[in-house]
Amino acid sequence: MRITMIGGGYVGLVSSACFAEFGTEVTVVETDVVKLAALREGRMPIYEPGLEQLVRENVKAGRLAFTNDLAAALDGTEAVFIAVGTPTRRGDGHADLTYVYAAAEQVARALTGYAVIVTKSTVPVGTGRRIQEIVSATRPDLRFDVASNPEFLREGNAIGDFMRPDRVVIGAESDRAREVMRRLYRPLYLIEAPIVFTAIETAELTKYAANAFLAMKVTFINEMADLCEKVGADVHDVARGIGLDGRIGRKFLHPGPGYGGSCFPKDTLALVRTAQDYGAPSRLVEATVAVNDARKSSMAMRVIAACGGS
């Protein structure tokens, strides 16, 4: 089986290396000349435990390659994954889908036969439908399907998360697209990893819902930490006491300065904006964003005060 990955960033590179380890022939398309040169020389643009060795082994085995030639990469491919950046759009908090839509149009122009066009990037509800429109308008003659396959990779454990996932979510609506995705993920079927097939919109929303829920857990325990300070309780014992409840779980119950990183801030904000646009505002996620922002400001003021205001 042959697939193409558009984007050699964190998600694209980890996913490509792991798919190659499954035995799939993967070509990564990277337009950044500096990053492409590094990848071809075996130097990783990111740090992830085990990634460099995994990439090196699969390049040597001929299952993984890097290029900036989109047409060549798409020759004979069965699935094209779009794994480009979706940063927060300046001014309104929505996800910036400029790179996603540009990639979809470029793929449409270069494909010579049927393929499943899969969003691996984190994208809001409706993106898959818009990609269908773009591809159909660009190439009315092209036979294709669109699918959503969100990633659930944790930095520092991304390879393990991909190889032994809690679940794989695939939004696909034709039998042909589902069959392509089943064959691609066959190694995970063999270890009985849960493979969940849904509608495209469901898969898109699942990624945001998962990150928002985890962000809410972080924010909740931080609010409990503030209350514990007032009443003389130990927040770590509170976290352990509730975390031992199987319905709640221990993870993400660690008090601190609030959530950050590359995903939670932009994904919670994008979900808030999407929910507002559709007339179904998510008050819990809105409060999570507001409380987290306030906590970071409060922590910054504490640091300034501790340093004597300088």
CATH of the domain at 215: 1.10.1040.10
pLDDT score of 308 more than 70: no
Q: How far is CA 19 from CA 15, 22, 36, 54, in A?
A: 6, 5, 19, 11
The residues, ordered by sequence, that sit 6+ positions from 94 with a Cβ below 8 Å of its Cβ are 88, 124, 270, 273, 274
List phi, psi (to 5°) of 255.
Answer: -65, 145
> Residue 298 — pLDDT band, cuts 50, 70, 90?
confident
pLDDT score, position 303: 66
**49 and 97 fall within a common domain:** yes
Q: With contact defined as beta carbons under 8 Å apart, do 214 and 252 qualify? A: yes
> Residue 307 — pLDDT band, cuts 50, 70, 90?
confident
Decide: pTM greater than 0.75: yes
> Residue 147 — pLDDT band, cuts 50, 70, 90?
very high
Provide the CATH number for the domain around residue 52: 3.40.50.720
Task: Please give the single-letter amino acid code of residue 117.
Answer: I
**132 and 49 fall within a common domain:** yes
Arithmetic mean of pLDDT, 267-296: 94
* In the chain, beta strands by DSSP E: 2-6, 25-29, 64-67, 79-82, 115-119, 144-148, 168-171, 195-198
Arithmetic mean of pLDDT, 72-97: 92
Arithmetic mean of pLDDT, 259-271: 90
> What's the pLDDT tens digit per position in 166-192?
999 999 999 999 999 999 999 999 999
How far, rounded to the nearest angstrom, does the alpha carbon of residue 258 sit from its chain's CA centroid? Answer: 20
**35 and 164 fall within a common domain:** yes
Whole-angstrom distance, CA of residue 81 vs CA of residue 83: 6
Higher pLDDT, 295 or 22: 22
Which residues constitute the domain of residue 141? 2-198
Q: With contact defined as beta carbons under 8 Å apart, do 167 and 196 qualify? A: yes
**109 and 232 fall within a common domain:** no
215 Rama class: left (phi>0) / alpha (psi -120 to 50) / beta? alpha
> Residue 118 — pLDDT band, cuts 50, 70, 90?
very high
Q: Given 147, 171, 198, which residue is the final one in a domain? A: 198
Q: How far is CA 64 from CA 54, 113, 119, 136, 308, in A?
A: 10, 22, 20, 30, 54
Q: Given 198, 227, 247, which residue is the final one in a domain? A: 198
β-pair type (144-148, 115-119): parallel
263 is catalytic: yes
> Residue 309 — pLDDT band, cuts 50, 70, 90?
low
**179 and 261 fall within a common domain:** no
Q: Of 18, 228, 263, 307, which is the active-site residue?
A: 263
> Residue 291 — pLDDT band, cuts 50, 70, 90?
very high
> Residue 310 — pLDDT band, cuts 50, 70, 90?
low
Q: How many domains does the chain have?
A: 2
Q: Given 179, 198, 217, which residue is the final one in a domain? A: 198
The residues, ordered by sequence, that sit 6+ positions from 255 with a Cβ below 8 Å of its Cβ are 221, 222, 224, 225, 235, 236, 239
Task: Please give the single-letter amino acid code of residue 222.
Answer: N
* In 128-240, beta strands by DSSP E: 144-148, 168-171, 195-198
| Beta pairing partners, 146 | 117
